[in-house]
Each structure stands twice: as structure tokens, then as C-alpha cells.
Amino acid sequence: MRLLPAVRIDSRILILRGQRVMLDADLAQLYGVPTGALVRAIKRNADRFPPDFMFQLDSEESTNLRCQTGTSSSWGGRRYPPYAFTEQGVAMLSSVLRSPRAASVNVEIMRAFVRLRSAAVEHRDLARRLGDLEAKYDRQFKAVFDAIRALMAPPEKPAGRIGFRAEHKG
């Protein structure tokens, strides 16, 4: 039984600093807890979240994210930059949030990360195959274009004499 639709989770996985991550607010919503409660639980267990599991966005990243998603202005919303969790950080959340819902949601999130990883592998494989085909057919098309150019070139005729020719009687 699936607790959440896969699309709902997949669309919340972002790429920040070259890593696939999920933001604390999205995770809190999926887990059914307030964002503040999630952040407090994480801070109580900070030793479980090294920098490769979780990081806080800097002000520029936070501003860019706010501009892209159209979230609230400085008068409302968050008072601090969000936290971003890598796949390992999301897995660690299940040990911090001990509810049955958290465990079920974590399973679905892990499946979403696996789907994205396999899609990326397929994409790389497809790009490699396309590159191979382009290289192969570029050579073949070069021969075709060279043949067409040769057919289009005017025939070579012998060079004639240039200038005035005087006839001599004699």
C-alpha cells in the first residue's frame, strides 16, 4: 500500500550544490508535522546529521529558491534559511522521527530517490548511445556531402589562351 503518490514526492526532490535534496518544509509536510517541530528534533540530534546528510541553505540559495517558488516575502513565512537533506539525511530522519507515518513516508521517499537515480543512469546511457550514433552517421554523411559537392562542381576544362590573337598572312 502506498501512502503518498510517487509524483508528489518526486516533484519535491531538488538539486542543490550538485546533490539531490529535499527541504525541511516539504519533509515536514509529508511527515505531517510542523516544520519547526522537525527542525527542533533535528537540532536535538545534531550529531546524527553531518554536512553530507544535511546542510542549511545560505542566504543567496534561499533567495533564489524563494524567487523560483514564489514563496512569501520578508513579512511572512520563514525567518531562517531552510535545511536541505540528502538521501542519507532523509534516511536518518526515520530514526529521529519515530512515528509509524514517518517510517512509511521514509520508505516512499527512498523509493523516489532510487527512481531518480535509475532515470539518471538511463539518461546517461541514452546520451552515450546518441553520441555514438552521431559519430557514426557524421562520417557517413560527410561522404555523402563530399560526393554531392563533387557532382555540383563545374567540370574542369582546359585553360585557353588569354589575350588577342593576330592572324598572320604569309
Kindly list the domain boundaries of the chain, sorted by start residue: 6-116
Strand partners, 55: 84
| Interatomic CA distance for residues 62 and 81, integer angstroms | 6
Neighbours of 9 (CB within 10 A): 22
| Interatomic CA distance for residues 159 and 170, integer angstroms | 28
Q: What is the pLDDT of residues 77-105, one digit of tens each?
A: 677 889 999 988 888 887 787 777 777 78
* Percent of the chain surpassing pLDDT 70: 68
Fold of 6-116: Mlu1-box Binding Protein; DNA-binding Domain (3.10.260)
Q: What is the mean pLDDT of residues 115-131?
A: 72
- What local confidence, expressed as pLDDT, does residue 1 receive? 42
Nearest-CA neighbor of 52 among 76, 26, 84, 75?
84
Whether 20 and 65 have beta carbons less than 8 Å apart is answered as: no
Whether 103 and 63 have beta carbons less than 8 Å apart is answered as: no
Does residue 47 register a pLDDT over 80? yes
